[in-house]
Amino acid sequence: MGRQDLADALDDELRKRLLPPTAVRALGLWLAGSGAQYVTGAGGHAVEYVPAHWSGVEPWPVEFPERSRTATARISRDQVVASTLRAAERSEWSEALVASYVWGQGRTGYGPHRLKEILAKPNVDDALAMAGSALRQEGAVAAYRGLRGAVKGLGPAFFTKFLYFLDQVNLLDQVNLLDHVSFPDSAADAPAAPRALILDQRIARVMRAHAARVGADMAPPSASEVAAWIWSDSGWTSHRYGVYLEWIHSATEQLASAGIGWPGSRPDVLELALFDGVWNPAS
């Protein structure tokens, strides 16, 4: 069996084997304890950043504190969704990217420099606008495909954050909570699932460890190498993103039926839990 054939077989097995009982227990304990604030969704998940560190980044979201502020500020997912909504209303796609990027970087020192370089690219607004249109019309995987490699320096760990927050706005539009908004392309006919979610190195490593364990049970000696190949630290294909979305949405349904109070309509809560290391498949 070739490496690609083994990768396909491993993906098929992952679709059947979602979360093991140890993972369900760990996630249930987290939701009942330190993760209790997310029982209704991940919107309250906030990060710290220093506005003054982002001086010179334009366009700056009007809802964010002035960059003269040297004290630490906090920004939640819900606040980024609100900022993304206002940016989308004005077709200010770079501003929407800034909001998600600041949230994603938090206090990391090199973030502002990298973001300035990204925003200086001449095609950034067009690429983000096209991705937004693809997200509404075709879904998350198509939008991912359009952004992958489109803007130098903007990798999937950060453009999936942009897609995630923009899709949260689309979701509000679909459930008629944004009657005053008229998007260039209606979200009414967009695919209902899977919703865009964040995929970064930390989450990919959880998926890699899980895939390696599943692969070991399948017996091929090279399974761990294939798991490391398909769930690398970066550069994931649109196919890999689609596999991730399918798996995490199905795993969310599994948790919702496990009797632990898991919010079944919010796969981003599981994404957050995986990022926080609530479940370690390698242990």
Write down the pTM of the prediction: 0.92
List C-alpha distances in Å: 219 to 192, 205, 222, 232: 37, 21, 9, 21
Separation between Cα atoms, residue 57 and residue 48, nearest integer Å: 18
The rounded average pLDDT for each run of 10 residues, N- to C-terminus, in the chain (283 residues) is: 83 93 97 96 96 94 91 96 95 97 89 95 96 95 97 96 96 64 48 84 96 82 85 95 96 96 94 96 85
Separation between Cα atoms, residue 199 and residue 245, nearest integer Å: 9
Separation between Cα atoms, residue 4 and residue 14, nearest integer Å: 15
Q: Which helix (H) or strand (E) holds 73?
A: strand 73-76
Is 105 exposed, middle or buried (CB count within 10 Å of its CB: 0-12, 13-18, 19+)? buried
Separation between Cα atoms, residue 207 and residue 6, nearest integer Å: 16
Q: For residue 186, what pLDDT is reported?
A: 47
Bridge partners, 47 (sequence order): 75
**Can you give the residue ranges of every domain in the chain?**
3-34+200-275, 46-174
Ramachandran sector of residue 149 (left: φ over 0; alpha: ψ -120 to 50; beta: rest): left
Q: For residue 150, what pLDDT is reported?
A: 97
Separation between Cα atoms, residue 118 and residue 121, nearest integer Å: 6
Q: What is the pLDDT of residues 256-271, one digit of tens each?
A: 999 999 998 899 999 9
Q: What is the pLDDT of residues 9-38, one digit of tens each?
A: 899 999 999 999 999 999 999 999 999 999
Separation between Cα atoms, residue 21 and residue 172, nearest integer Å: 34
